[in-house]
A = this chain, B = another copy of it.
């Protein structure tokens, strides 16, 4: 923040321009809302991009169909009590379709952000939301966990992803903050997330959000054929 200078007769504020440049400030409207089944094609593409980013496409077996049936089963539990997704939408104009995205469990949060440079989104058409001028820019997938020492639930953030052209603008912070705010609202005791130890960017991000990396905790995973072996009646 600039220090105030004691000018006795302040001149009227001019429009902010720099010589030879367009006026400063490119507003972009952002919205965080609960995902719906119609977001599945976008989610599938976003998860694929996430796998490419992490060099993990060999681990990816999700399809639109499997995402749809597991994230939005016919006996869908209330959001926040099971697997939950916030979508980050962006638009160059005010959102006019928000009422459609409002539901009893979560009112979309909107915010306008002034950027120095306009964003060129090469994947606009791929990520257009319905027929509007709204585009899916990222998502966060989370669900409750239960730290028994606290005897109250928390949230575990499984994925947090922002498309490349929208990075470094604080949008990931918005998504994570939305989860943390929801946790506080519900009286939950924790928000946790997994990071790869070599991913300094991710660790810096979460530490910047006041999360602490647990030095000693490791995860053991049983999966694939080793898990299937438990399926027989004589597996023990």
> Quick one: closest B residue to A142, CB to CB?
B146
Complex CA gap A71/B77 in Å reads 16
Residues of A near any B CB (own CB < 8 A): 47, 51, 56, 59-63, 66-67, 70-71, 77, 81-83, 111, 141, 143-154, 156, 158-159, 173-174, 177, 180-181, 183-185, 189-198, 203, 206-207, 209-223, 226-231, 235-236
Residue pairs across A and B with Cβ atoms less than 8 A apart, 16 shown, are A71-B146, A77-B77, A82-B82, A83-B146, A141-B148, A177-B235, A180-B230, A190-B221, A195-B218, A196-B216, A203-B220, A210-B222, A210-B229, A212-B221, A213-B220, A214-B218
- Number of copies of this chain in the oligomer? 2
Select A61's contact among B149, B158, B223, beta carbons within 8 Å.
Answer: B149
Bound CA–CA A182/B87 (angstroms): 32
A211 and B217 contact, Cβ closer than 8 Å, known pairs A146-B143, A183-B230, A184-B230: no
The A interface, classified by DSSP as helix, strand, loop or mixed, is mixed
State in angstroms the CA–CA spacing of A51 and B209 once bound together: 28
Contacting A62 at CB < 8 Å: which of B151, B193, B218?
B151
- Interchain nearest-CB distance for A147 vs B (Å): 7
Contact of A158 among B146, B212, B220, B221 (CB under 8 A): B146
